[in-house]
């Protein structure tokens, strides 16, 4: 039932708005609205009950194991939310003067400093609102750097074929052509193909390391050398930073620019699809181009760094400071982890992934890269099950929901047929990983005995499989009832 269907004309939550309508007759009559806005007319309790019930139709980290590869669905500590939502912080206007903002700005400044340290970059700007906006900022800086040197013949960005879709889409938004670089059988970038592709037209390369294939790019130093020698720059997509946090720094690998997904590595909530935060870090030569605003410090006084101070900046990414509240949550999380806790993130995320890999292999599942170590995630391929039992990765994914597990990422990366990209994260306990393995084994048995159970799954959710074709053909994007 929709909230609109609870609506009754004249019903209202009167405690929640001014008692009376004020006079608008001083405004031109032709500028005024002639009919009601058409919003629900419900009581406060009806709204509370409706949305509480809707929330119960979601899987979430707080209720379910959520091994969604590449998304780092780890525990979002409640304290990060509570202390980022203190009344004083919520009430602060983005244009409050620096004199009334020192506490808030201290948090941002310290976050910048910590992110510089863990990424090995020289300077950090927190302002991009999500990973994709961080990518945009990063590639825009690469372009601004080449333009500033009058090196304008560089029209191409290299992207491995395993990359997230945001990479080529971003390069395109920055006005670049995209050239794909193949991956070899072991999951590394094909170095010979890369060497053949670079040249005076190369503006840079966008890489995720560990890659989306769940393996560490072993020849990263050679890749960096190859691209740099051709005059291009290296962009690090921080989607998988959780795998190496505190262990290896993108700056040391030779990257010139990096974005981080704070909603992954720094455990801010995914919120059903955002808000995230995608800070960018850069090496010395790209520092003048960072997006603004940033926070500077002088003798304990914090101040805003704007386009006035950074005339070569690629500019602003949003009206104010990006997703400020997300930055505060990441700050609180980083302080609670501390130096050693940050290094443990990569260690235990990697331990959990390799343990899960070992157990699933032992249970008879095929790995996409059996000779490689898992990083914080790994890929199971159900190619064999598809051929022999006529069940797909999607069938496994949907059946997992019946067992109370959110599905791993399916059909990404596109290179591996019938793949499940599995990322357990460091915050899951051994018994939860064991439970997941048991469910996978049971589903495998079901696939042999009664494949319909999988094909018809899920059976226990609020709805069964949805008709996506109808959704796209007979578009119904807003309710037309009254």
Partner 1 sequence: MPFIPHTEGEVAAMLDAIGVDTIENLFDEIPQSLRIGKLNAVPEAMSEMEIGRLMMQRAEQDGHPLNFIGAGAYEHHIPAAVWEITTRGEFYSAYTPYQAEASQGTLQVIYEYQTMMTRLMAMDVSNASLYDGASGLAEAVLMAVRANRKSKSKKILVPRALHPNYRKTTYSIVHNQGIELIEVPYDAAGGHTPVEALKEYEGQDITAVVIAQPNFFGVLEDVDDLTNWAQNNGALTIAVVNPLVMSVLKPPGQWGDNGVDIACGEGQPLGVPLSSGGPYYGFMCAKQAHVRQMPGRIVGRTVDRDGRIGYTLTLQAREQHIRRTKATSNICTNQGLAVTASTIFMSIVGGAGLQRMASQSHANTVSLINQLSGEHVKPRFSRPCFHEAVLTLDASLDAVMQDLASQNLLPGFALQDDYPELENSLLVCATETKTGQDLARYAELLGQAIATHASSGVLSQSHGA
Of 251-280, binders to partner 1 (CB under 8 A) are 252-253, 263, 267, 269-276
Interactions with partner 1, residue window 33-92 (CB under 8 A): 33-34, 36-42, 44, 47-48, 50-52, 54-64, 66, 68, 71, 73-77, 79, 81-92
Shorter beta-carbon distance to partner 1: residue 388 or 481: 481
Q: How far apart are the C-alpha atoms of 471 and 196, rounded to whole Å?
A: 44
Sequence-distant (6+) residues with CB within 8 A of 388 are none
Q: To the nearest whole angstrom, how small is the minimum distance from the Cβ of residue 346 to partner 1?
A: 8
Shorter beta-carbon distance to partner 1: residue 88 or 387: 88
**Residue 154 contacts partner 1 per CB under 8 A:** no
Among 117, 106, 122, which Cα is nearest to 300's? Answer: 106
Pick from 69, 131, 214, 424: which binds partner 1 (CB under 8 A)?
131
Q: How far apart are the first and last CA of the chain?
A: 13
Classify residue 351 as exposed, middle or buried by CB count within 10 Å of its CB (0-12, 13-18, 19+).
middle
Shorter beta-carbon distance to partner 1: residue 150 or 387: 150
Pick from 150, 300, 340, 449: which binds partner 1 (CB under 8 A)?
340
**Residue 138 contacts partner 1 per CB under 8 A:** no
Q: How far apart are the C-alpha atoms of 267 and 276, rounded to whole Å?
A: 10
Pick from 65, 67, 69, 101: which binds partner 1 (CB under 8 A)?
101
Q: To the nearest whole angstrom, how small is the minimum distance from the Cβ of residue 437 to partner 1?
A: 10
Q: How many chain residues bind partner 1 (CB under 8 A)?
A: 202
Distances (CA, A) of 257 to 121, 124, 145, 291, 323: 8, 10, 11, 12, 20
Shorter beta-carbon distance to partner 1: residue 117 or 366: 117
Interactions with partner 1, residue window 389-448 (CB under 8 A): 397-398, 401, 406-407, 412, 426-430
Among 116, 92, 106, which Cα is nearest to 296's? Answer: 106
Q: How far apart are the C-alpha atoms of 168 and 181, rounded to whole Å?
A: 12
**Residue 166 contacts partner 1 per CB under 8 A:** yes
Shorter beta-carbon distance to partner 1: residue 30 or 298: 30
Sheet holding 280-282, edge to edge: 123-125, 280-282, 257-260, 233-238, 202-208, 156-160, 177-181
| Helices assigned H by DSSP within 96-149 | 102-119, 131-148
Interactions with partner 1, residue window 180-219 (CB under 8 A): 215-216, 218
Interactions with partner 1, residue window 300-339 (CB under 8 A): 307, 314-326, 328, 332, 334-339
**Residue 149 contacts partner 1 per CB under 8 A:** no
**Residue 148 contacts partner 1 per CB under 8 A:** no
CA 446, 450, 451, 454 torsion-angle sign:
negative
């Amino acid at each position: 039932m929709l909230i609109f269907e609870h609506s009754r004309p004249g019903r209202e939550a009167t405690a929640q708005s001014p008692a009376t309508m004020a006079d608008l007759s001083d405004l031109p009559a032709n500028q005024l609205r002639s009919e009601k806005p058409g919003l629900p007319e419900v009581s406060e309790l009806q709204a509370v009950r409706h949305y509480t019930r809707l929330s119960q139709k979601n899987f979430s980290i707080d209720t379910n194991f959520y091994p969604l590869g590449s998304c780092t669905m780890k525990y979002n500590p409640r304290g990060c939310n509570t202390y980022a939502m203190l009344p004083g912080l919520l009430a602060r206007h983005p244009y409050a003067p620096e004199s009334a903002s020192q506490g808030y700005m201290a948090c941002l400044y310290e976050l910048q400093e910590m992110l510089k340290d863990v990424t090995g970059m020289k300077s950090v700007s927190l302002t991009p609102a999500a990973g994709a906006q961080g990518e945009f900022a990063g590639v825009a800086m690469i372009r601004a750097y080449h333009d500033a040197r009058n090196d304008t013949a560089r029209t191409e960005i290299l992207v491995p074929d395993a990359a997230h879709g945001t990479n080529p889409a971003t390069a395109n938004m920055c006005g670049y052509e995209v050239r794909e670089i193949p991956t070899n059988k072991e999951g590394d970038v094909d170095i010979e193909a890369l060497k053949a592709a670079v040249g005076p037209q190369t503006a840079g390369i966008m890489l995720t390391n560990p890659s989306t294939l769940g393996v560490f790019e072993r020849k990263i130093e050679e890749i960096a050398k190859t691209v740099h020698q051709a005059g291009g720059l290296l962009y690090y997509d921080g989607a998988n930073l959780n795998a190496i946090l505190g262990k290896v720094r993108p700056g040391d690998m030779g990257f010139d620019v990096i974005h981080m997904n704070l909603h992954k590595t720094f455990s801010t909530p995914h919120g059903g699809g955002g808000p995230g935060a995608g800070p960018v870090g850069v090496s010395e030569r790209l520092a003048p181009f960072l997006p603004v605003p940033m926070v500077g410090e002088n003798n304990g006084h914090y101040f805003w760094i704007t386009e006035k101070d950074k005339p070569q900046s690629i500019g602003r990414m949003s009206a104010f400071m990006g997703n400020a509240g997300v930055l505060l949550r990441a700050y609180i999380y980083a302080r609670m982890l501390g130096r050693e806790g940050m290094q443990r993130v990569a260690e235990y995320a990697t331990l959990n992934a390799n343990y899960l890999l070992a157990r699933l292999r032992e249970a008879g599942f095929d790995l996409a890269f059996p000779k490689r170590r898992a990083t914080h995630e790994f890929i199971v391929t159900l190619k064999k099950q598809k051929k022999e039992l006529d069940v797909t990765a999607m069938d496994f994914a949907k059946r997992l929901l019946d067992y109370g597990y959110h599905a791993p990422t399916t059909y990404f990366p596109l290179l591996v047929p019938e793949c499940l990209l599995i990322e357990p994260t460091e915050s899951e306990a051994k018994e939860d990983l064991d439970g997941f393995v048991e469910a996978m084994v049971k589903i495998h048995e079901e696939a042999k005995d009664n494949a319909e159970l999988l094909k018809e799954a899920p059976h226990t959710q609020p709805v069964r499989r949805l008709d996506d074709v109808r959704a796209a053909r007979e578009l119904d994007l807003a309710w037309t009832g009254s």
